[in-house]
Amino acid sequence: MASRQIMALVLIFVFIGGAVAEKREIYLALMEGDPIASSSSSRRHALNSEDLRLRAKSMVDYHDQLLESTLEATSYSKLYSFKHVINGFAVHATQSEAEKLKRAVGVRHLEKDRGVKLMTTYTPEFLGLPPGDRGRILQGGSRDAGRGIVIGFVDTGIDPLHPSFANTYPVATSEDGNSSDSGKFTGDCEMGPLFPAGSCNGKIVSARFFAAGARAAAPLKPYVDFMSPYDAVGHGSHVAAAAAGNVDVPVVVNGFVYGRARGMAPAAKIAVYKAVYPTIGTLTDVIAAIDQAVQDGVDLISLAVGPDDPPEGTITFLSVFDVALLFARRAGVFVAQAAGNKGPAPYTMLSFSPWSVGAASSSTDRTYAGSLLLGNGLRVRGVGLSGPTPGSGMLLHRLISAKDALNANGTYPRTPPYTDECQHPEAFDPATVQGSIVLCAFSAGFLSQTSSLDSIISTARALGFMGFALLANLSYGDFIAEPIPFGIPGILIPKVADVQAILKYYEGEKSGGSAKAAIEEGRVASYNTKAPIVSRFSSRGPDFLNIGKAPVDVLKPDVLAPGHQVWAAWSPISASQPILTGYNFALLSGTSMATAHVIGAAALIKQHNPSWSPAMISSAMSTTAKNYDNHGEIISAEGPAVGSLYPSTPFDVGHGQLNPTAAIDPGLVFESDYDDYLSFLCSTPGIDPAALKAVTGELCTRPFSYQSDLNLPSVTISSLVGSRMISRRVKNVGNWQELYTCTVFPPSGTTVTISPPWFTINPQGMQDLHLQVNATEVRNEFSHGEVILRGRLNHIVRIPLSVRTVSSSPWSP
């Protein structure tokens, strides 16, 4: 009897266990058939015609019918139909249902949503021992820079009340309702919480939000995850303002005026596509936003958000995300993409494809330095955007270490957040710390990211600190600090050597209570720093093919731009950064900020050259970029060790530092079109033609001999065996005939010759160039050089060379 009862219990357990619902996740499907925006002409001139609307409806109906015939009606949720840049859909389903869909007739490709992140670094907090950043007030274009251009920002939304987005550029409206300086752009203004009617004011010409993926992926918080285009995070507002914010907007934080901000292209119009929320970001919502932006007719797309890891199960170029960018390029839309914030290690790039421009981050010459003045006259430099303690250095105040100011009878845990890091006011004796400058320590809580500056400030305010100093910990070494506006006097001392000097003074004076100090003014900028320097966090090349990091013949990043400590608009809700709550401006760092500068520069180039294709804009940026800093030296890059620098390579800077003025008139450009990108994909080593057809719908009819044959403004050879002939074609976009001479600086381990060594080219004329690259030494690592084309009319065209020689003989095994 007992054994039968046990058996019954086992059977019940097995039955219940088997009945547990299978987890649902988001999947992205690509379908047979072309999307609507299969050419720039259809996008610009006929996209909203009745026949295309009917075609779009037919595609949606087909997606629905396929799902209904393949899956049980109540078991899945279709989130979107994609119709314009890709033909496909997003569905919330189980893995077993996904397997059914993968086998369904008409489904080319199925991929799991891997999520997206904002491409800021550690924002204004610490992220352990490495990285951190600095910034500047934006010095953008002239008042009319960017006029006639619409930039689509796929991001966290926008704060429509911010002065950076006031409509200071009214324009006439044509009979069909389109503003006269935005072509055939047709957007919409979706209203909702904190985004009332009138938010699309002429500067903001359209605003939409995409949340189906976010709602399916996680429970959203209605008090921050607003179902409207409003930006509760601040990131989207920051990027939009850095790229296209108004001219001369006062940057005021805690009552102090830091300067005046302006975007790179302040006359450009802003189209908002909110796709990332404080709680979560999904690739599904981002692709839906890109799809809509292309349909609306934006000129440029800013992607300062994106997947934080390479795709699994497919090569980097053939993920649904990168295919969407390819089709956006085919539709005539320029896309700037954050390179990623996973540096300084190599092979950390997150912008993979040659049809999007990957932006790396650099510093500028603007820095903010505060100081702690000790009672012995020693002045220790540090970081902190705060005003001085009373007396502005003329009056010294009691200095005390957190450990010496503890409440001895308190019941709090004796752990570093309480005893060292000033995170909890109950740990201190109020009488001891009131009116004192308290020395807090960077300790275990900051390493684990459970401690924060925000908590130090809260403790200081609660107990009436005169100020605080956060000191590097001798056990952990230097940390890297970001300047952040403090509402009370504060300073960060990130170098152990400086901390040792402070502690030597303090230990010698504390017994008599005579240790004194003052925090001096830290909000005034200086402009004498070596710049640009590649930011430590900025992702590095070489570009790669898959999660195995096999290198490919594409130079990434594409270009370097300011992304280190950038002032721009912020949302006062600041849902993800409590320390910035209430602020209308923030000083942020990341390749997001570099992306803003690149997309703003693209607007300037497009304004002056409205007929240029995205490839021509990209080429102009690349060939005119600078590879020397303000001291006339090769641009430096931050290395892994705190404070370390090394001479940069193209895998750090791409073509070099963005030079918008020169890019407007580059002399020569390199053009590539959709068919060229297909040939590039077909020539990718190990490519499965069936997989390529699955995601693009195209057959490999004319592959290149090598990937390196794509007509890029750079030459990258990831595996040179013996020798290789490389061809490039340039076009003269100037107004005059020009004579160019060619100079070659070959990478180590190679010889490079170019033919012809000089040429004369007429306006709109073409010229073929042939580079013979020979391996002379096996290095099995990349080395770098360049080709420089110098024109008689002062145009200079730089072509970086990056070569990895694996054999000096074509017959070597």
| Helix, strand counts (H, E) of the chain | 19, 38
| Inter-residue contact 488 to 389 (CB < 8 Å) | no
Tell me the two tokens of residue 260: 């005046």
Which of 480, 537, 533, 618 shows the shortest CA–CA distance to 348?
537
- Beta partners for 92? 26, 77
How far apart, in whole angstroms, are the C-alpha atoms of residue 79 and residue 76?
Answer: 9
**Cα Rg, the chain, nearest whole Å:** 28
Angle at which helices 591-608 and 235-244 pack, to 10 degrees?
Answer: 30
How far apart, in whole angstroms, are the C-alpha atoms of residue 542 and residue 595?
Answer: 19
How far apart, in whole angstroms, are the C-alpha atoms of residue 435 and residue 441?
Answer: 19
Which of 377, 386, 404, 395 shows the shortest CA–CA distance to 518?
395
Angle at which helices 689-696 and 674-682 pack, to 10 degrees?
Answer: 150
**CA angle in degrees (0–180, nearest 5) for 223-228-232:** 50
| Inter-residue contact 793 to 738 (CB < 8 Å) | yes
**Helical H runs in 71-106?**
95-103
CA distances (Å), 241 to each of 119, 139, 153, 433, 600, in order?
Answer: 16, 12, 11, 41, 10
How far apart, in whole angstroms, are the C-alpha atoms of residue 525 and residue 382?
Answer: 13
Q: Which residues are catalytically annotated?
A: 155, 235, 592
Q: Which string of DSSP letters, residue by residue, matches 484-499?
A: -B-SS-EEEE--HHHH
- Amino acid found at 461: R
Tell me the two tokens of residue 704: 């290149």
Q: Which residue has the tokens 């295919």?
A: 323
Residues constituting the chain: 813
Tell me the two tokens of residue 647: 């001479």
Strands (E), 83-157: 88-94, 107-112, 117-118, 150-155
| Inter-residue contact 211 to 277 (CB < 8 Å) | yes
Which of 95, 33, 31 shows the shortest CA–CA distance to 63?
31
